[in-house]
Amino acid sequence: MDEDQGPSQIVPQHESKKSISGRLNDLKMTFFTRRGILGDYDYAFLLRPNLPFMKKSQQASPFFGLNDKMPVVLALLLGLQHALAMLAGVITPPILMSGTSGVNLPADMQQYLVSTALIVSGILSMIQITRFHIYKTPYYLGTGLISVVGISFSIIPVAQGAFAQMYSNGFCPTDAAGTKLPCPDAYGALLGTAAVCALIEILIAFIPPRIMLKIFPPIVTGPTVMLIGIHLIETGFENWAGGSGPCADATHTAYFDVCPNVGAPHALPWGSPEYLGLGFSVFLTIILCERFGAPIMKSTSVIIGLLVGCIIAAATGYFDRSGIDAAPVASFIWVHTFKLTVYGPLVLPVLAVFIICACEAIGDITATCDVSRLEVEGRTYESRIQGGVLADGLNGILAALMTMTPMSTFAQNNGVIALTRCANRTAGYCCCLFLIIMGIFAKFAAALVAIPAPVLGGMTTFLFCSVAVSGVAIITKGVPFNRRNRFILTAGLSIGYGATLVPTYFDHVFSYSGDNKSLQGFLDAIVLVMETGFTVTAFICMILNLTLEEEVEETDEKLVATDEPVVIKNMPVNGQSFDSNRVGSGHEKQV
């Protein structure tokens, strides 16, 4: 029974509304008593490391359901854990898209985008967690679960491809040597296009989930998510070796002979062993946290790894603190704004991004229901799916108006729920509070932007690879490996892998160089779609899955042949089974 429906009962019971004095008494019990503040929770469980010589506790921690009362300190502690678990995923997209692998914005704008990403994630997560009923309709907005949202990774490869195209076609400026200059208009074009394209996810929210899953089943979404992760690993690994900007290119000016540039502290050539060592310190810390760490360390291992890498980088002179010193104390949304426009070539790829976000939301919400011990079928479950996808689409529009790229539900927080046995929405609201506080303090965002590229690369490589593994998990759990499905995956991944590994293969297909901007924009859109590997894979897999007929496979119950009668194998006799194919025809039954 879903908790929103209340306990099973024969006679309906109507609870009377609490009086003001009753509510004040509840507040007193919550904030001014030991039970309300601390409760009887085993806090040592969260902090106890998993060392070989330590005895493990055999007592299970209590489970906090969706609307259960929980101590204030525990709610704050688990909310902080949720915030730290999603922190790396929230800050990575704005750092990549605003930095040298994106639109090359100045440091103050990069710091603003990181701050805003945290604030917007906190605000929009509250919409998902609260779950509003739309007046006089059967529809909802939000899931009512700990469904936190952050910047979608799916937009990064699309944005990077579009930004590269904008620099090549003159939409964005370059200097005489070909070095890319800051291009805030390109980021504004991405935001404007995303705000319009988010309408498709709002429309998808009103399609019954079973129909949507028939159009976008795991055989479509699995390889798509996998290719998104594989594409992003390239950027993460380039940063690990020193940076993904001009210093990583074979041809660059003397200013970028070292990474990130000759003016940076302790700058070294790209691929230097010192850089690789910095990234490896992050990677190794993540592994050690998973093996020996306490539960709170396991769910925040990526942030702990980033922190260790930052400490080593600061101790060895790789940190540039000038940006931190120059940053303001506080920041908020709209401190910087961008001119919103619609960039035609981006429309089709961004539409694909929002469709993928809708499919990801269904899987993430289902997993959240499962770990929260709520039903994963029935009317209430379907209303959570509908509300979650609708909130995702609306959040996409609101995020663009708040200068942020598309948002999507985050799956990593499901691990925190399972680990801490807490599905309580109070912890979710505390998570939102911590995200907003982190974003308001601009010095915190400035410190994140100042992280050396190798340290960031060690973290993002691990993070992006987990995205690829999530795609593999979708395939293995939801796709039977018969001949038809193997053919669909092979056909879809052939061009998808090719476009991911050789992203410029389609550059010279069209030779038009006239003054017709509409035609040029249409051709640029085709090029951008064809060079975005996961978009091509999603399209091919979807078309083949809808057009190729299902094959009837041989099963233990019957053999199906086109021109022959159905043959049923003999049932077990006296506890022993035998195959009728191995005996004479007299043992076969024809039907």
Listed residue (210, 498, 158, 215) closest to 345, CA to CA: 158
pLDDT at position 24, please? Answer: 72
Listed residue (546, 547, 532) closest to 496, CA to CA: 532
pLDDT at position 251, please? Answer: 65
> In angstroms, rounded to a whole number, what is the distance separating the alpha carbons of residues 282 and 67?
37
pLDDT at position 187, please? Answer: 95
Q: Count the Cβ atoms, other than its own, within 10 Å of residue 231.
A: 26
pTM assigned to the model: 0.79
> In angstroms, rounded to a whole number, what is the distance separating the alpha carbons of residues 90 and 404?
11
Name residue 40's amino acid: D
Q: Count the Cβ atoms, other than its own, within 10 Å of residue 554.
A: 9
For 480, residues 6+ apart whose C-beta sits below 8 A from its C-beta are none
Listed residue (233, 237, 303, 306) closest to 464, CA to CA: 233
pLDDT in tens, 494-521: 999 999 999 889 888 888 887 777 788 7
3-state helix, strand, coil split of the chain in percent (to 5) is 60, 5, 35
Inter-residue contact 393 to 178 (CB < 8 Å)? no
In this structure, what token pair is assigned to residue 142? Answer: 């939000």
For 206, residues 6+ apart whose C-beta sits below 8 A from its C-beta are 139, 386, 390
pLDDT in tens, 382-409: 889 899 999 999 999 999 999 999 998 8
Degrees, nearest 5: CA angle 208-213-219? 175
What is the separation, in whole angstroms, between the first and last Cα of the chain? 44
Listed residue (162, 147, 215) closest to 389, CA to CA: 147
For 59, residues 6+ apart whose C-beta sits below 8 A from its C-beta are 42
The SS3 assignment for 151 reads strand
Inter-residue contact 210 to 385 (CB < 8 Å)? no
3-state secondary structure 272-323: CHHHHHHHHHHHHHHHHHHHHCCHHHHHCHHHHHHHHHHHHHHHCCCCCCHH
Residue 427: φ, ψ to 5°? -65, -35
Question: What is the share, in percent, of the chain residues with pLDDT greater than 90?
Answer: 27
Q: What is the pLDDT along the chain (591 residues), one digit of tens a residue?
A: 454 544 333 333 444 566 777 767 777 677 767 666 777 777 777 777 777 776 766 655 677 788 778 888 888 888 888 888 888 888 889 998 998 888 999 989 999 999 999 999 999 999 999 988 988 888 999 998 888 898 988 898 889 889 988 998 888 998 887 788 999 999 999 999 999 999 999 999 998 877 877 888 889 888 988 888 888 888 889 889 888 777 877 666 677 788 887 878 888 888 899 999 999 999 999 999 888 888 778 878 888 898 999 999 999 988 888 888 888 889 999 999 999 999 988 898 899 889 888 888 887 888 888 888 888 778 888 889 899 999 999 999 999 999 999 998 887 677 778 777 788 888 899 999 999 999 999 898 888 888 888 998 898 898 888 888 888 888 888 888 899 999 999 999 999 999 999 988 988 888 888 777 778 878 888 888 888 888 899 889 999 998 998 876 654 444 444 444 544 444 444 444 444 444 443 434 333
In this structure, what token pair is assigned to residue 151? Answer: 């910047």
Name residue 366's amino acid: T
For 339, residues 6+ apart whose C-beta sits below 8 A from its C-beta are 184, 185, 188
Q: List the strands of the sheet with 558-559, edge to edge.
A: 558-559, 567-568, 589-590
Task: Give me the half-sphere count of Cα atoms (radius 13 Å) on the Cβ side of residue 448.
Answer: 30
Task: Give me the half-sphere count of Cα atoms (radius 13 Å) on the Cβ side of residue 389.
Answer: 29
In this structure, what token pair is assigned to residue 415? Answer: 């691990």
pLDDT at position 273, please? Answer: 92
